[in-house]
Amino acid sequence: MCMIDPACLSLGGETDCTDSIDNDGNGQTDCDDWACFLDPACGNGFP
């Protein structure tokens, strides 16, 4: 589970939410990464 995985707590976060690369090394890419939740490219942001 990501909440207890130290790799998920990277301070750098996902640096590009549209490049299909796991930039922060937590096993999640782009919009699947919690760090991209509010990124407009992921469609989860608030208007």
Kindly list the domain boundaries of the chain, sorted by start residue.
13-47
> So what's the pLDDT on residue 19?
95
> Alpha carbon of 18 to those of 3, 29, 39: distances in Å?
23, 9, 10
Of 22, 30, 23, 26, whose CA–CA distance to 2 is shortest? 26
pLDDT, position 6: 53
Amino acid at the residue 30: D
The pLDDT score that the predictor gives to residue 37 is 86
Residue 10 buriedness (CB in 10 A; 0-12 / 13-18 / 19+):
middle
Query: From the CA atom positions of the chain, what is the Rg in Å?
Result: 10
Question: Which tens digit of pLDDT belongs to each residue from 1-47?
Answer: 555 555 555 456 788 999 999 998 999 999 999 889 888 999 875 55
* pLDDT at residue 22, rounded to an integer: 94
State how far the Cα of 30 lies from the Cα of 4, in Å rounded to an integer: 20
